[in-house]
């Protein structure tokens, strides 16, 4: 049996309020292109995703997205401002910086997003070996079920980088930006986020079975400096 066959597979589930999809407001809401999650912040308005997801002002965030629903369970939230490092990318040293924060505007009632859906605690990556719960939304093109997936698995170091690596099938394109959570609490649907699907090659290897291996940048000083910019905006 190969290592790929031994790896766990993600399960489809109904999602959690603090994690959702990003899509362009100029396009079809079903054509969501990345995953993002709410992180706790003083202003209660910050989301986290991958840098290569490019969450701009022409994008929106839909927490706990429901495919085909007439109305979304927690609404659709407009993105206000995005924070990335100029040198971020998906190759070379820039792939170690493949994360982004964005602020979202209040809803029509003036509520901030964290007050509505809760948030995960941004935490430094404690090391390269961790037990994590990873959540993401594959694009409908890659996974016609168009539902959230999650997987409980372990991380290792991606050789030659300052990044984490995990093995679990089902993390197709669209899951970029999905949070890697430690201490995930099933009751509250929250945990400590120590990574996101991103980094080298946009968060995983290329080629056959690329959905079985995912990467994450290591969360150290750089991610907290960027978070500081987002929370002071």
The CATH number linked to 50 is: 2.40.10.10
- Determine the structural domain holding residue 72 and report its residue range: 3-231
Tell how far CA 84 is from the center of its chain. 14
Other CB atoms within a 10 A radius of the CB of residue 131 amount to 12
Number of structural domains (the chain) is: 1
pLDDT for the residue 2: 45
- Of 25-29, 68-72, 180-184, 190-194, the range with the lowest mean pLDDT is 25-29
- pLDDT digit string, tens, across residues 3-57: 445 779 999 999 999 999 999 877 665 689 999 999 999 999 999 999 999 888 7
CA 231/CA 233 separation, integer angstroms: 6
- pLDDT digit string, tens, across residues 192-226: 999 999 999 999 999 888 999 999 999 999 999 99
Under a CB-based contact definition with an 8 Å cutoff, are residues 177 and 184 in contact? no
Under a CB-based contact definition with an 8 Å cutoff, are residues 200 and 157 in contact? no
């Amino acid at each position: 049996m190969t290592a790929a066959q031994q790896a766990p597979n993600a399960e489809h589930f109904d999602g959690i309020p603090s994690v959702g999809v990003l899509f362009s407001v100029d396009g079809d809401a079903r054509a969501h292109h990345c995953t993002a999650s709410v992180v706790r912040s003083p202003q209660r308005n910050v989301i986290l995703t991958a840098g290569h997801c490019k969450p701009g002002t022409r994008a929106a965030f839909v927490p706990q997205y429901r495919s085909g629903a007439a109305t979304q369970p927690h609404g659709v939230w407009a993105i206000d401002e995005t924070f990335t490092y100029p040198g971020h990318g998906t190759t070379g040293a820039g792939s170690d910086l493949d994360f982004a924060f964005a602020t979202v505007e209040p809803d029509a009632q003036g509520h901030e997003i964290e007050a509505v859906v809760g948030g995960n605690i941004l935490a430094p990556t404690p090391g390269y070996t961790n037990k994590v719960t990873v959540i993401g939304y594959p694009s409908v093109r890659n996974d016609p079920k168009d539902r959230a997936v999650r997987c409980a698995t372990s991380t290792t170091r991606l050789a030659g980088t300052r990044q984490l690596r995990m093995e679990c099938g089902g993390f197709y394109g669209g899951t970029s930006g999905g949070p890697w959570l430690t201490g995930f609490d099933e009751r509250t649907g929250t945990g400590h986020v120590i990574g996101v699907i991103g980094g080298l090659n946009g968060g995983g290897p290329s080629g056959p079975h690329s959905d079985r291996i995912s990467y994450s940048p290591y969360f150290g000083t750089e991610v907290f400096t960027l978070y500081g910019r987002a929370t002071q905006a």
